[in-house]
Structure 1
Amino acid sequence: MTALEPLPVITAPTKERVAYLDNARYWVMLLVVIGHSLTQFGSMDSARAVYVWIYAFHMPFFILISGYTARRYMGDARQVRRIVSTLVVPYLIVETTLQLISRHYTGEPDPLRILSPQWLAWFMAALFVWRLTTPIWRALRYPITTSIVISLTVGLFELPNVLSLPKILGFLPFYVVGMHMSREWFERLTARPIRIASAIVLLVAFLICYRYSGGWETDWLLWKQRYDESPLSATPIEGMTQRAELLAVGFVLTFAALSLVPKRRSWTTRFGGRTFYCYLLHGYVIVYLTYQFELFDRIEKFGVGAVIGCIVGSTILANLLMTVIFSKVFRPLFEPKLGWLFREMPQPEAAPSKPEPKPEDAKAESTST
Structure 2
Amino acid sequence: MLAEPSPAPPLPPAIGTGQDGRAREAFFDNAKLPALVLVVCGHFWEPLARQPGHRAVHAAYLLVYAFHMPVFVFVSGWFSRSFTARPHQVNRLIGGVLVPYLLWTTLLGRYTAWLNGRAFTLDLLTPAWVTWFLLSLFLWRLSAPLWRQLRAPITVAVAIALLAGALPLTPQLSIGRTLQFLPFFVAGLTLDRDKVLALRGNRALRIAAVPLFALAAVAAYRAVPRLDAAWLYRSMSATGLHSGYLRWAALSLALGVAGAVLGAAFLALTPTRHAWFTALGAAGMSAFLVHPFVQLALVHQGAYDGAFLASAPGHLALTAGAAALALLLSTPPVARLLRPLLAPRLGLLLRRQSLSPEAGPPPARDR
TM-score by length of 1: 0.87
Tell me whether 1:259 sits opposite 2:268 in the alignment.
yes
Please state how far the C-alpha of 1:109 moved relative to its aligned partner.
7.6
Deviations 1:8-56 (CA, angstroms, capped at 9, x unpaired):
xxxx973212111110111111111111111122233231011000000
Residue 247 of structure 1 pairs with residue 256 of structure 2? yes
Flag the 1:107–1:143 CA change in 2: closer, same or farther, 3 A. Answer: farther
Alpha-carbon separation, structure 1, partners of 2:223 and 2:143: 38
- The residue aligned with 1:209 is 220
Q: Which residue of 1 aligns with 2:166?
A: 156
Mark the CA change 1:171 to 1:20 in structure 2 (over 3 Å): closer, same or farther.
same
- Conserved? CA contact 1:46–1:303, under 8 Å: no
Residue matched to 2:45: 38
Q: Give the drift of 1:177.
A: 0.8
Q: Residues 263-283 of structure 1: CA distance to partner in whole angstroms, max 9, x if unpaired?
A: 011112121111111111111
- Residue 125 of structure 2 is matched in structure 1 by 115
Partners of 1:102 and 1:109 within 8 A in 2: no
Aligned residue among 180, 199, 213 for 2:210: 199
Query: Which deviates the most, 170-179 or 156-165?
Result: 156-165
User: What TM-score does the superposition give when structure 2 sets the normalisation length?
Assistant: 0.87
Q: Deviations over 1:118-162 (max 9, x none)?
A: 311000001000000011111112211111011112111103322
2:303 alignment counterpart: 295
Does the aligned pair in 2 maintain the 1:47–1:304 contact within 8 Å?
no
Deviation string, structure 1 residues 310-343 (Cα, Å, up to 9, x no partner): 1111110011011111011111221112111112
Structure 2: distance between partners of 1:318 and 1:299 = 25
Q: Take 2:85 and 2:61, find their aligned partners in 1: how far apart are those partners?
A: 37
Whether 1:330 aligns to 2:341 is no
Which of 304, 319, 322 aligns to 2:312? It is: 304
Q: Which residue of 2 aligns with 1:184?
A: 194
Judge conservation of contact 2:309–2:315 (CA < 8 Å) in 1: no
After the TM superposition, which of the residue ranges 296-305 and 35-44 deviates more from structure 2?
A: 296-305
Please list every run of at least 4 consecutive aligned residues from structure 1 whose deviation after the TM superposition is greater than 4 angstroms.
Answer: 107-110
Instruction: Tell me which residue corresponds to 1:366.
Output: none
Gaps of 5+ in 1: 1-6, 353-369
Q: Which residue of 28, 32, 35 corresponds with 1:25? A: 32
Amino acid at match of 1:280: L
Per-residue CA shift, 1:56-84, capped at 9, x if unaligned? 01000100010111011101111111111
Max radius of gyration: which structure? 1
SS of match in other structure, 2:198: helix
- What is residue 185 of structure 2 aligned with on the other side? 175
Alpha-carbon shift at residue 94 of structure 1 (Å): 1.1
C-alpha distance in 2, partners of 1:301/1:158? 38
Q: What's the CA shift for 1:303?
A: 3.0
Return 5+ residue gaps in structure 2 as ranges. Answer: 5-18, 361-367
Quote the sequence identity (%). Answer: 32
Secondary structure of the 2:106 match is helix
Computed over aligned residues only, the root mean square deviation of the Cα atoms, in angstroms, reads: 2.1
Distance 1:171 1:256 in 2: 19
1:315 aligned onto 2:326: no
